[in-house]
Chains A and B, each alone.
Chain A
Amino acid sequence: DGGITQSPKYLFRKEGQNVTLSCEQNLNHDAMYWYRQDPGQGLRLIYYSQIVNDFQKGDIAEGYSVSREKKESFPLTVTSAQKNPTAFYLCASSISRATEAFFGQGTRLTVV
């Protein structure tokens, strides 16, 4: 089945540790996105990539880093510089920036 896979679904980390969230898609989509969702809030864009080996900062990129070495993969690293990392993280992909995006099931990160 084609789709977007985020892993793990739940992740716990100690404060001060970096953590990497996985996002893989087999839809042959060029564009990929990372969003963050806090309780009762809408989604906020962290990073996006329109094509392999290229990515751009979104609205709340501070404390996060990404890579796009393969078309299928867009991992997100939450660094110790992110002040409030506990959140629900959502990865999405689309054929291009002009088409509808499809989302993974999310990773809920809790930093203690």
Chain B
Amino acid sequence: DAKTTQPPSMDCAEGRAANLPCNHSTISGNEYVYWYRQIHSQGPQYIIHGLKNNETNEMASLIITEDRKSSTLILPHATLRDTAVYYCIVRVHSSNTGKLIFGQGTTLQVKP
């Protein structure tokens, strides 16, 4: 599975959009981009995933560049409850294990 690079931390004002970047320059054509978040002392929460098209759900939007070497997770109106560690993961759907490889992630601090 391809390696991802994320900034270690980011701040965002409450009510503003939070844009979390992720670089995955070695991504393969059959690897999907997944985003999870983990609030302190809780299990990771699935947010969204995509292959090459932009995706949107009730939680967030995922923007993947045309060359697929980077992506951005957008939380349109961040709240204090969005403070968490956000993980960007790339994974092959045909993986033998279904394993998710979590890196260090980005700690997002939403401030009042």
Contacts and interface: CB of A to CB of B under 8 A. Distances in A.
Interface string A87-112: 01010101011111111111010000
A45 B99 contact: yes
Interface stretch (B16-24, B42-50, B61-69, B72-80): B42-50
A103 B43 contact: yes
Contacts of A6: 43
Given A42-B103, A42-B104, A33 B98 contact: yes
A43 interface: yes
Interface residues of A, number: 28
A97 B100 contact: no
A43 B100 contact: yes
A106 B42 contact: yes
Interface of A: 4, 6, 31, 33, 42-43, 45, 48, 50, 56, 58-59, 88, 90, 92, 94, 96-106, 108
B101 interface: yes
User: Which range holds the interface residue count of chain B?
Assistant: 20 to 34
Contacts of B111: none
Contact of B98 (A50, A103, A104, A108): A50
B95 A97 contact: yes
A43 B46 CA distance: 14
Contacts of B99: 33, 45, 48, 58-59
Given A45-B99, A48-B99, A97-B97, A104 B43 contact: yes
Contacts of A108: 41
Given A42-B103, A42-B104, A96 B98 contact: yes
